């Protein structure tokens, strides 16, 4: 019965490779029993590190896209890159999971950074005073003035303080918030309205907490926008 392939003493004291049928020319000069090239191929190992790095890259990308977990996501992506890099240099393993993990960890970091910056920038945008579109009928025109508004006497140009009270009441009715910590905002708006080219009649409507309608509506919209920019730089 023929011996299985392997290293054996050929009778001269040296290790020679037996291929299962005959002696080959391959000798082991240092006495090691390493199989000659092509005679006994090494078995491949499952790319464990590659799949671990790929999984961490996916997890890190998800966490990095959530602002509250952005820092944790970045740390996971760095770990994914390192593990995938080690997997690339591991012998006798498939390289594609490690390569994909490295690429995804970089792309995930970029996407997470962009998403976080957009969300933070949107959160920092201050509130604006809503202006009713000219094509949309105003529901406040038929409503009673807010108790906080101080209507001016008929025939007189209301004071900046009266206008400020009316503008504040109108803003609160429209759902505008965010100026509680700016006590000077609405007084500034009242003075801005008072110094504008709006007629006394329109200013009396503003002081009464009513929307300005009619021919001066477009001018009122422009005064509101410019006043908000000037009073809340």
Q: What are the residue boundaries of the structural domains of the chain, listed by start?
A: 1-41, 48-124, 139-231
In angstroms, rounded to a whole number, what is the distance separating the alpha carbons of residues 142 and 151?
Answer: 16
pLDDT reading at 63 higher than 90? yes
According to the model, what pLDDT value does residue 149 have? 43
According to the model, what pLDDT value does residue 44 have? 67
According to the model, what pLDDT value does residue 52 have? 93
Q: Report residue 146 CA to chain centroid gap.
A: 41
pLDDT reading at 36 higher than 60? no
According to the model, what pLDDT value does residue 45 have? 74
Q: What is the mean pLDDT of the chain?
A: 79
Q: Whole-model pTM?
A: 0.39
Phi/psi for 70 (5° steps) reads: -60, -45
Confidence of residue 225 (pLDDT cuts 50, 70, 90): confident
112-140 average pLDDT score: 69
pLDDT reading at 46 higher than 70? yes
Confidence of residue 84 (pLDDT cuts 50, 70, 90): very high
Confidence of residue 56 (pLDDT cuts 50, 70, 90): very high
Q: What is the pLDDT of residues 147-195, one digit of tens each?
A: 444 444 456 888 989 988 888 888 888 777 767 777 888 889 888 889 8
Per-residue burial over 180-219, b if 16 or more Cβ lie within 10 Å, else e, is eeeeebbbbbbbbbbebebeeebbbbbbbbbbbbeebbee
Share of the chain above pLDDT 70, in %: 78
Contact indicator for 232, 179 with CB cutoff of 8 Å:
yes
Q: What is the pLDDT of residues 173-182, one digit of tens each?
A: 877 776 777 7
According to the model, what pLDDT value does residue 131 have? 53
Q: What is the pLDDT of residues 101-121, one digit of tens each?
A: 999 999 999 998 999 999 888
């Amino acid at each position: 019965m023929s011996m299985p392939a392997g290293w054996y003493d050929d009778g001269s004291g040296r290790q020679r490779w037996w291929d299962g049928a005959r002696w080959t020319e391959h000798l082991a000069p240092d006495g090691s029993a390493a199989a000659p090239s092509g005679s006994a191929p090494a078995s491949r190992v499952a790319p464990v590190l590659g799949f671990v790095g790929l999984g961490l890259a996916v997890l890190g990308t998800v966490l990095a896209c959530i602002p509250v977990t952005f820092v944790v996501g970045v740390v996971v992506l760095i770990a994914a890159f390192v593990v995938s890099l080690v997997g690339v240099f591991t012998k006798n393993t498939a390289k594609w999971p490690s390569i994909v993990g490295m690429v995804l960890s970089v792309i995930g970091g970029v996407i997470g950074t962009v998403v976080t910056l957009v969300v933070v920038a949107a959160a920092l945008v201050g509130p604006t005073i809503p202006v009713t579109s000219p094509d949309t009928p105003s529901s406040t025109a038929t409503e009673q003035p807010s108790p906080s508004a101080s209507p001016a006497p008929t025939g007189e140009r209301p004071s900046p303080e009266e206008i400020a009270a009316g503008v504040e009441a109108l803003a609160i009715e429209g759902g505008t918030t965010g100026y509680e910590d700016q006590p000077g905002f609405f007084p500034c708006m009242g003075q801005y309205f008072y110094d504008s080219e709006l007629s006394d009649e329109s200013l009396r409507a503003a002081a009464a907490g009513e929307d300005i309608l009619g021919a001066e509506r477009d001018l009122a919209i422009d005064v509101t926008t410019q006043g908000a920019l000037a009073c809340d730089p």
